[in-house]
Structure 1
Amino acid sequence: MPPRLTPLRIQLLRTIARLTAENDGPPSAADLARACGLTEGTISFHLKTLRDLGYIGRSGARGRLNLTEKTRALIGMGLPIYGQIAAGPPILAEQVPEQTTPSVDALLGVREGDFLLQIRGDSMTGIGVMDGDYVLVRPAAEVLDGEVAVVLIPGDNAATLKRLYHFGDEVTLMSENPHHPRMTFPADQVRVQGRMVARLGVAGPRVSKGRD
């Protein structure tokens, strides 16, 4: 029978990922054995199978255990990319992954200090930001005209996501929904908290209005 990926071997891969994150570097086989409470002989048997299956590699004099991109996709450290999908004329949907992302963070270009906010309301639907979505925000005290920013509204002690423009001594916040009016404030009363850099549409598929 050919070697296969058993629940124990998946757990070993997850443990390698955890040890790598905790120690800022990949573990050795001995480190993995101690963490799992198994003998080095047992670990060695399973690691050989995992190497044969293409889930791990070794590097360095001490044989550190490195996870492959195949493993990162398997245990949720990355997502498989199955080619392209048409939003216009149909194209063939490939069934074999062309590549995998290292992680969702890498896919979005997350930097240290970035944070997520969940959207409440429909003022930014014109750019695809729907109620229930998350937006990735990069902290900034200033943004360029036309950028979408997280802004503290004067007097309300509340933040809003709007497109921002400077006009002399005033700042205008504009929605991406014609049903929401623009807001104008003195520039010295507006506090920019950050700039939107990405959107995560996790609220589920939407059904277009006006269709049966």
Structure 2
Amino acid sequence: MMKAREEKLRARVRSISDFYHQRGRMPSFSEIGEMAGLRSKNAVFKFVNKLEHLKVLERDAKGRLIPGAIIAAPVKVLGTVEAGFPSPAEEELVDTLSLDDLLIQNRDATFLLKVSGDSMSGAGILPGDMVLVDKGRAPKSGDIVIAEVDGEWTMKYLRKRGESVALIPANPNYKPIKPKKELKIAGVVTAVVRKYG
């Protein structure tokens, strides 16, 4: 009886995980109810609380469902690779690691943006890349920031010298930007994600 219940729970968690990985978002309460075969809102609410208790999912500051460690599937870490001269390597499972845990420090304050334009190519950020932005981090000189300058959005290095503030591109074809009226910094870039193929 206990084993059958565990299998049922595992299957339901797998359904939620598949949904998350296929659609890039967590299912709603009603979608979870459909997947789990639960008809009443109360049953779904109790089930979601159980999943929260098991750390399958969590809630953000606004109460929205976000994936827990089980859904944000970890990837195997097989060791290191030499980027200089080739060296013999053996595949060995060192650990597992969730990319969320590696790349995101402040889940509630982090968002993704797709890059267009090549003004940051010298920093290794190319058109089509995705950047992770932490809006909770205090920007400091030298950080790559997402900023609204005089009503227009851009991504550049932040440079502060005394009272003077400028946004510096990482491509010599572009000029530094000095705000004429207003500069609002939306967040600090913490990681770049590039997919090959």
TM-score range, shorter chain: 0.5 to 0.7
Aligned position for 2:177:
183
Matched, 1:98 2:126: no
TM normalised by structure 2 equals 0.63
Decide whether the 8 Å contact of 1:140 with 1:194 is kept in 2. Answer: yes
Aligned to 1:123: 119
* Cα pair distance change 1:171/1:82, threshold 3 Å: same
Equivalent residue number for residue 194 of structure 2: 201
Q: Aligned AA for 1:198? A: A
Deviations for 1:43-97, whole angstroms, at most 9, x for unmatched residues?
A: xxxxxxxxxxxxxxxxxxxxxxxxxx9xx6xx86111111111110112333232
Supply the distance in 1 between the matched residues of 2:95 and 2:153 (Cα, whole angstroms): 38
* Distance (whole Å) between structure 1 residues aligned to residue 92 and residue 137 of structure 2: 44
Counterpart contact for 2:143–2:188, Cα < 8 Å: yes
Matching of residues 128-207 of structure 1 within 5 Å: 128-140=124-136, 142-154=138-150, 157-186=151-180, 189-202=182-195, 204=196
Q: Which runs of 5+ in 2 are unaligned?
A: 1-7, 18-31, 33-46, 56-68
Matched AA of 1:14: R
| 1:150 counterpart letter in structure 2 | I
Cα distance in 2 for residues equivalent to 1:16 and 1:173: 42
Percent identity of paired positions between Structure 1 and Structure 2: 26
Instruction: Give, as a single letter, the amino acid of the residue that structure 1 aligns with 2:157.
Output: R
The counterpart of 1:109, out of the listed 99, 104, 115, is: 104
Alpha carbons 2:143, 2:158 under 8 Å: kept: yes
Distance in 1 of aligned mates of 2:110 and 2:128: 19
The answer to whether the Cα contact below 8 Å between 1:146 and 1:163 also exists between their aligned partners in 2 is yes
CA RMSD of aligned residues (A): 3.2
1:185 aligns to what SS in structure 2? coil
- Aligned pairs, number: 148
Query: Does structure 1 residue 14 correspond to structure 2 residue 10?
Result: no
Cα deviation for residue 141 of structure 1 reads: 8.1
Q: Which has the higher Rg, Structure 1 or Structure 2?
A: 1
TM-fit CA distance, 1:100: 0.6
**In structure 2, distance between residues paired with 1:100 and 1:88:** 25
Q: CA deviation at 1:176?
A: 0.9
Shift of residue 184, structure 1, vs aligned partner: 1.4
The unaligned stretches of length 5 or more in structure 1 are: 1-7, 28-68, 206-212
